[in-house]
Amino acid sequence: MKVQTKSKKVNKAWLNDHVTDPYVRLAQKEGYRSRAAYKLKEIDEQLGLIKPGQLVVDLGAAPGAWSQYLRRRFAPKVAGQGGAAVGELNGRIVALDLLDFEPVEGVQFIQGDFREEAVANQLAQALGGAAVDLVVSDMAPNLSGVENVDAARIEHLIELALDFCKQHLKTEGALVAKVFHGSGYSQLVELFRQNFQVVKPIKPKASRDRSAETFLVGMRLKRAAR
């Protein structure tokens, strides 16, 4: 009974935080599927990563807030408004996730597990041989609560994202990837430093303070794309 009571209290506290969260309210007001859009927005505004005409790959895209933000950056602006017009985009977005994904206009979606070679090949085929300007990854494994196991799972996803970048990213391109502070974090930073000339860790304001979540941004590959 004590465990159930504690669980109810935790759930109630989380729900209260969620309902009163200003980014949740802003996402609802501005039509984003989740508050995550503002994490990418802040990173973009700090570093100027997203520019019209780019090819961007969104890994771990569901429920779609990052793809929505990318689409708005590539869409014609509505006169006198802050929104984005319906129609052809000045840029291309390819999104991938294991989970189902409600369509976002102008975004090409592939459903599958990025850890599987066949899915990675399908993503490569979708690019049609074009080099990628930016890879954004909100991928995260199912966490077990066992620190060294979770660290290994996170590192595996980062390694896959880096391998994808080495094959498809332009030399001057960038990777934005979600990671977590804790066991293995310093190794992930080192992995980024091995592959990029510039590495910046960013904790967006839209990421909750108590969350171990942070983002690593790697810019300018040290090794040219194939």
- The residue annotated as part of the active site, out of 178, 200, 203, 222, is 178
pLDDT in tens, 95-105: 999 999 999 99
Q: Is 138 annotated as a binding residue?
A: yes
End-to-end CA distance of the chain: 58
Check if 166 is active-site. Answer: no
58 is annotated as contributing to ligand binding: no
Q: Are strands 213-221 and 169-180 parallel, antiparallel or unpaired?
A: antiparallel
Per-residue pLDDT at 11:
63
Task: Tell me which architecture the domain covering 33-221 has in CATH.
Answer: 3-Layer(aba) Sandwich (3.40)
Domain residues of the chain, as ranges? 1-30, 33-221
Q: How far is CA 64 from the centre of its chain?
A: 10
Residues 41-54: tens digit of each pLDDT: 999 999 999 999 99
145 known ligand binder? no
Tell whether 44 is in a known binding site: no
Statement: residue 64 has pLDDT above 70: yes
Q: Which two tokens stand for residue 101?
A: 């994904």
Least confident of 25-34, 58-67, 69-78, 149-158: 69-78
Q: Is the pLDDT of residue 112 over 80?
A: yes
